[in-house]
């Protein structure tokens, strides 16, 4: 559940070994995927932007996002996430199937968790003055993050966000919705919407405010800046801080610790959800404010948004090239 946990370090290498100094971030990312995937059972589905696995022995479901063409919340990714939530509920409610006690939302894209809303889609709907389409997209984002926050409406499930790279805007909002936010050192997170004259309207104030208080939440939103995972851990935003490349191991370590006091932890979470409720109605009303504000953006604001998309796309393309080179080198 929310609330800062001890910093997790599970490195098997000496801190300053020559291996650590020569390993690139992409190589480190590929190594940790190779280490974790063989122990997981792939789930059979037709998803194109979400890879899902199930660790039956630990009762942990894993979902790795990969939005295309940019690692953001595309309509396809959102549909697949909602379908995955539904499949897990079916598993939980079926006494013939292994129960799901934890589910983890992570990323398949090196150095990027999720870049947030589909800004190209935003600009298209804003240019067309299509309020209904913009509202429907926003609601699909709310539906997905609220399912994470409500742990699928199943009292014995814990949702975990594993951030191993940039989490921006809606990407950070979704991570904040989780019961437990685990982030690797060096991961950058932020809410840049104020830079193009908007605000993050799909859960930031709701979820961040309940973690650190609404005064600090507004300060973070107004700043528009990127924060390191280490800074957000000190603020109480991040629950567990892991070493680079050790995020999955940190998840298993957190689960091991929670299992020791699971009854008390789940009861405390239920009590806090009563004392600090995050209602679906609150999220909807804030989203309506966001939609109307988005439709008031000027051409100057949209140009700023377009520049942000261009920079993000450039970073994704660079990372893809580095990943390809890394795969070729290790082939």
In this predicted model, what pLDDT tens digit does every residue of 282-308 receive, in sequence order? Answer: 999 999 999 999 999 999 999 999 988
pLDDT at 31 over 70: no
Is the confidence at residue 259, as pLDDT, over 70? Answer: yes
User: What pLDDT score does 308 carry?
Assistant: 83
CA–CA gap between residue 326 and residue 330 (Å, rounded): 6
Q: Read off the pLDDT band of 11 (50, 70, 90).
A: very low
Q: Which helix (H) or strand (E) holds 113?
A: strand 112-114
- For residues 22-47, average pLDDT: 60
- 7-15 own/partner pairs: CB under 8 Å, 24+ apart: 7/233, 7/240, 7/241, 8/182, 8/240, 8/241, 8/242, 8/243, 8/246, 8/249, 8/250, 8/253, 8/254, 9/242, 9/243, 9/246, 10/242, 10/243, 10/246, 10/249, 10/250, 10/253, 11/243, 11/246
Return the minimum-mean-pLDDT range out of 11-15, 30-34, 109-113, 306-310. Answer: 11-15
Q: What is the pLDDT of residue 309?
A: 81
Segment 233-246 shows an average pLDDT of: 97
Which has the closest alpha carbon to 191: 214, 174, 178?
Answer: 174
Name the DSSP class of 97. Answer: S
Helix/strand/coil for 157: coil
CA-angle at 114, arms to 121 and 7, nearest 5°: 160
Give the list of residues 6+ apart from residue 187 with CB closer than 8 angstroms, or none: 113, 163, 164, 165, 166, 167, 228, 229
3-state secondary structure of 246: coil
Q: Is the pLDDT of residue 128 over 50?
A: yes
> 269 pLDDT exceeds 80?
yes
pLDDT value of position 36: 55
In what order do the strands lie in the sheet containing 102-107? 41-42, 50-55, 60-65, 102-107, 158-163, 180-184, 240-242
* In the block, residue with structure tokens 């390191």: 228
CA angle 106, 8, 181 (to 5 degrees): 35
Q: What is the pLDDT of residues 44-55, one digit of tens each?
A: 889 999 999 999
Say whether 311 sits in a helix, a strand or coil.
helix
Give which of 166, 181, 151, 142 is closest to 282, Cα–Cα. Answer: 142
pLDDT at 312 over 80: no
Write down the pTM of the prediction. Answer: 0.85
pLDDT at residue 29 in the model: 45
pLDDT tens digits, 178-236: 999 999 999 999 999 999 999 999 999 999 999 999 999 999 999 999 999 999 999 99
CA angle 98, 101, 107 (to 5 degrees): 105
pLDDT at 176: 98
Cβ density class 46-60: b for 16+ within 10 Å, e for less: ebebbbbbbbeebbb
What CA–CA distance (Å, rounded) separates 208 from 211? Answer: 5
Res. 13: pLDDT tops 70: no
Tell me the pLDDT band of 26, cut-offs 50, 70 and 90: very low
Checking DSSP bridges between strand 188-190 and strand 226-228, what pairing results, if any?
antiparallel
- How long a stretch of residues is the chain? 331
């Amino acid at each position: 559940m929310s609330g800062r946990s001890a910093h997790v370090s599970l490195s098997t290498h000496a801190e300053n070994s020559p291996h650590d100094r020569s390993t690139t971030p992409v190589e480190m990312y590929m190594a940790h995927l190779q280490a974790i995937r063989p122990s997981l059972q792939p789930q059979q589905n037709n998803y194109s932007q979400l890879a899902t696995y199930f660790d039956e022995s630990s009762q942990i479901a894993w979902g790795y996002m990969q939005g295309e063409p940019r690692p953001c919340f595309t309509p396809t990714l959102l549909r697949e996430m909602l379908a995955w939530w539904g499949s897990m509920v079916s598993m939980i409610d079926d006494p013939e199937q292994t129960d799901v006690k934890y589910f983890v939302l992570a990323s398949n894209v090196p150095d990027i968790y999720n870049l947030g809303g589909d800004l190209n889609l935003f600009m298209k709907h804003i240019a067309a003055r299509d309020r209904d389409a913009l509202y429907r997209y926003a609601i699909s984002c709310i539906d997905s993050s609220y399912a994470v926050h409500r742990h699928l409406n199943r009292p014995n499930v814990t949702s975990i966000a594993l951030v191993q790279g940039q989490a921006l805007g809606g990407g950070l909002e979704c991570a904040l919705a989780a019961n437990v936010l685990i982030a690797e050192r060096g991961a950058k997170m932020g809410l840049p919407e104020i830079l193009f004259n908007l605000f993050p309207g799909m859960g930031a104030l709701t979820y961040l405010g309940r973690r650190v208080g609404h005064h600090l939440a507004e300060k973070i939103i107004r700043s528009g800046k990127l924060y390191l995972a280490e800074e957000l851990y000190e603020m109480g935003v991040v629950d567990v801080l892991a070493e680079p490349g050790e995020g999955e191991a940190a998840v298993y370590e957190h689960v091991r610790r929670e299992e020791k006091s699971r009854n008390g932890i789940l009861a405390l979470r239920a009590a806090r959800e009563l004392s600090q409720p995050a209602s679906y109605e609150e999220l909807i009303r804030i989203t309506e404010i966001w939609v109307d504000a988005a439709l008031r953006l000027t051409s100057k604001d949209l140009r700023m948004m377009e520049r942000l998309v261009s920079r993000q796309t450039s970073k994704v393309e660079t990372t893809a090239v580095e990943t390809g080179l890394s795969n070729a080198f290790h082939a």
